[in-house]
Amino acid sequence: MEKDFIKIYNLIQELSWHFGAHGINGECCGDLSLVEYMALKKIEDSENITVQEIGNALNFTKSGASKIIDRLENKGYVTREISPENGRVCFVNTTAKGAEIASEIVKKYSAYVYEMLKEQDKAMVGNIEAVLKILVDSANGLENNLNGKFTQGGGKMTVFEMNS
Amino acid sequence: MEKDFIKIYNLIQELSWHFGAHGINGECCGDLSLVEYMALKKIEDSENITVQEIGNALNFTKSGASKIIDRLENKGYVTREISPENGRVCFVNTTAKGAEIASEIVKKYSAYVYEMLKEQDKAMVGNIEAVLKILVDSANGLENNLNGKFTQGGGKMTVFEMNS
DNA sequence: GAGCTATAGTTTCCAGTGTCAACTATTACA
DNA sequence: TGTAATAGTTGACACTGGAAACTATAGCTC
């Protein structure tokens, strides 16, 4: 049983590398880095998201998030707008150009995924989607742990125990 | 059908972010960055791997690979050794310390994966593993395309076509 | 074997990136 | 009104990986 989880972890890590910043060959798409692209996606998904929230969602400090938004703004993909309710807060939203480039990147990589999986039958495609959903949901469920006792646990190696 | 692949892509991207350099909170484990860890894994998996081969495997230039190995060597996790057959070639191998830290990291994240999936029954765990294997294998199968016509295709957005 | 070319690796210079700490500006509250 | 808290920005800094130049070895041709 334990070995299964090691295998699963190694597979996830390899897949993640493939779709990560270096697996995609350093550049994500056009003039966007992977980090910028992920921020753009996040901004597109949530209306009037704040700088802080983007930082929290992507695991950046607020100053890091601010600079990522700087770059996206300079490229014309997002806008900053001071909240009418609270003058300290800054709403970030995508421009039409930003939404378009994001959708192009999604299209490009979806076509890549199609190429990966085109030999699978319809049932398996559904199964793959279901499995990924389980993985993503459960990873999001542990996010608090990951940022709390897990990663910042003072360098401790093993926090979770497998009692298999 | 097309929508399925978009969903699958988005799920993969989210999972990859979670297990990528920023999802794991900037630090991978102890004194290793994700890049260093992946290189260490690769070195451990293949005896007498060369600097160039590490670079190719992880999508780095040879100068980049050389520096990553520098860091691993300075930390005492790998050794360089000139090939007896060819004085230009440099064999890289893990030290006992390097192998140990790599295995500790694997253990740590496998426990994390266990925590993610502990509510799944045995059949589903097997299914998850099978699905990930399909994804990793098919991604590796397209690797040449990804580095060839796909990513370096001169900025073209869509190279693969979905004819669904 | 001298000389040219190819190959493996290293090093130098450089640009990009994210963090920390200090700062501005606004809000909340006593 | 004054103090603390909050959101965001900025500047200095360290780290990282790439491009190009460089060293050193190997292979090949004459």
pLDDT bracket for residue A1 (50, 70, 90): low
- Residue B83 tokens read as 């090939």
Are B51 and B68 within 8 A, CB to CB? no
Q: Say if residue B74's pLDDT is above 50.
A: yes
- Report the alpha-carbon distance of residue B119 to residue A27 in Å, rounded: 37
Residue B29 phi/psi, 5° resolution? -170, 125
Helix or strand holding residue A5 (H, E)? helix A2-18
Distance from CA of B85 to the nearest CA of A (A): 32
Q: How confident is the model at residue A144 (pLDDT cuts 50, 70, 90)?
A: low
In this predicted complex, what is the ipTM?
A: 0.88
CATH number, domain A27-119, options 1.10.10.10, 3.40.50.1820, 2.60.40.420, 1.10.600.10: 1.10.10.10
**Integer Cα distance of B3 and A63 in angstroms:** 36
Alpha-carbon span A52 to A49, nearest angstrom: 8
Identify the bridge partners of residue B32 per DSSP, sorted by sequence position.
Answer: B29
Which of B11, B38, B41 best probes binding to A when mutated, by most A CB atoms within 10 angstroms? B11
Q: Options 1.10.10.10, 3.30.2130.10, 3.60.15.30, 1.10.287.610; which CATH number does B15-110 get?
A: 1.10.10.10
On strand D, nucleotides with any atom < 7 Å from a protein CB are 6-11, 15-21, 24-27
Protein-covered nucleotides of chain C (CB closer than 7 Å) are 7-12, 16-22, 25-28
Give percent of chain A above pLDDT 70.
84
Number of Cβ within 10 Å of residue A129's Cβ equals: 16
- Domain residue extents for chain A: 27-119
What count of other Cβ atoms lies within 10 Å of the Cβ of residue B43? Answer: 27
Q: How far in angstroms lies nucleotide D4's C1' from the CA of residue A79?
A: 31
Give the pLDDT confidence of B117-158 residue by residue, as tens digits: 999 999 999 999 999 999 999 999 876 544 433 332 333 233
Tens-digit pLDDT profile for residues A86-131: 999 999 999 999 999 999 999 999 999 999 999 999 999 999 999 9
